[in-house]
């Protein structure tokens, strides 16, 4: 098996925008699948079993995933991606603007996932892994069918919306729409402002990277957005990440520098992702080290993988990883179609 990238949909070289967009989506998927093997494990236990880190997508973990199978991180990213696909389909061939509610569509697809109407799942069978805020928000949405009156409420500040938000960075049409939809798509499950603003900030960083801005410029875009949205806590999370030595923490353990051993707290996951983005090493080595930190390894891998893929492009993701990913072709086909219309 070669480690030279080859698209599953085209043999032509990719332009930078397409490469970075595909890299962002499949970076989420790859980080999720890589981290699923050691989800909830401590740094010390991972070091004993994988002294050089988990270097291949092998599946397993506490939920017994097949290699490359999507966990909730990638599944819900797919739900948001499908919403943007549906908007493009609704608008196709129309000479007038179609008022398509992409937030409601994302919530509808997420509910389908929750109810078991999903690839490789038994119809009606719930997901084997779901966060508390996600479950509360989708249960409320099932009752109300209004995504703007759901969410788990203040105090539920997990990373379950940050892990799925990246399609908005790639396919929203303006900055205003990107920020608005990032917050609203977060809020139908995670409406604590630490979550919704983290999603908006993350997506501004991704959009800047896809537009060809440097890492420093992209991080500055994130800081400016956090300031504009009046969130000092998110600003501090970005600053913390910018100073975070991922390789050293991966080698020696995060200790008390990452309280809760990289728990599912949204601001901690954002910091880890910023630390990964600002690490100059190749995507593969950085993502392996993010997983080595332990804790919420699949989600931290997904969030960091999205930024790294947007930074380096799909060519930086090892082919041996890409070949394993459950939704690789699905993501590539939808994304290239949407990008061709933009």
Is 56 a known ligand-binding residue?
no
**Nearest C-alpha neighbor of 222 from the set 161, 179, 266, 255:** 179
* Phi–psi pair at 151, nearest 5 degrees: 85, 155
Which residue reads 């967009």 in tokens?
21
What is the rounded CA–CA span in Å between residue 56 and residue 47? Answer: 15
- Tell me whether residue 168 is annotated as binding: no
Annotated ligand binding at 72? The verdict is yes
75 marked among binding-site residues: no
Question: Binding residue per annotation — 296?
Answer: yes
The Cα 206–Cα 194 span in angstroms is: 18
Non-local (6+) Cβ contacts of 73 within 8 A are: 28, 32, 163, 164, 298, 299, 302
146 known member of a binding site: no
CA–CA dist 321, 319 (Å, integer): 5
Residue where the block lists tokens 């900055």: 175
Write out the DSSP string of 243-294.
Answer: T--HHHHHHH--GGGSHHHH-SBHHHHHHHHHHHHT--S-HHHHHHHHHHT-
Give burial (CB, 10 Å; 0-12/13-18/19+) of 256: exposed
Feature table: binding site for Mg(2+): 71-73, 296, 298-299
């Amino acid at each position: 098996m070669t480690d030279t990238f080859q698209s599953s949909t085209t043999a032509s070289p990719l332009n930078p925008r397409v490469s970075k967009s595909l890299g962002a989506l499949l970076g989420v998927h790859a980080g999720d699948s890589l981290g699923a093997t050691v989800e909830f494990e401590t740094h010390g236990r991972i070091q004993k079993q994988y002294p050089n880190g988990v270097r291949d997508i092998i599946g397993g973990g506490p939920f017994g995933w097949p290699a490359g199978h999507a966990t909730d991180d990638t599944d819900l990213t797919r739900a948001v991606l499908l919403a943007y696909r549906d908007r493009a389909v609704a608008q196709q061939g129309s000479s007038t603007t179609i008022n398509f509610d992409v937030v409601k569509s994302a919530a509808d697809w997420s509910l389908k996932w929750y109810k078991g109407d999903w690839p490789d799942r038994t119809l009606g069978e719930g997901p084997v892994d779901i966060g508390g805020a996600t479950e509360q928000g989708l249960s409320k949405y099932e009752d109300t069918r209004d995504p703007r009156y759901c969410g788990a409420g203040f105090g539920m500040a997990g990373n379950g919306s940050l892990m799925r938000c990246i399609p908005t960075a790639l396919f929203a049409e303006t900055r205003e729409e990107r920020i608005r939809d990032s917050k609203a798509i977060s809020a139908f499950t995670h409406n604590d402002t630490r979550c919704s603003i983290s999603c908006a900030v993350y997506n501004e960083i991704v959009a800047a990277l896809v537009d060809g801005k440097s890492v420093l410029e992209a991080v500055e875009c994130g800081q400016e957005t956090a300031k504009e949205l009046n969130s000092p806590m998110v600003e501090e999370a970005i600053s913390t990440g910018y100073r975070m030595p991922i390789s050293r923490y991966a080698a020696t353990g995060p200790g008390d520098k990452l309280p809760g051993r990289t728990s599912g707290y949204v601001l901690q996951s954002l910091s880890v992702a910023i630390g990964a983005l600002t690490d100059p090493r190749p995507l593969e080595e950085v993502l392996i080290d993010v997983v080595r930190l332990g804790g919420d390894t699949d989600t931290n891998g997904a969030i960091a993988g999205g930024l790294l893929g947007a930074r380096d492009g799909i060519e930086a993701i090892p082919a041996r990883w890409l070949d394993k990913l459950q939704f690789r072709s699905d993501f590539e086909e939808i994304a290239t179609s949407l990008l061709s219309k933009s």
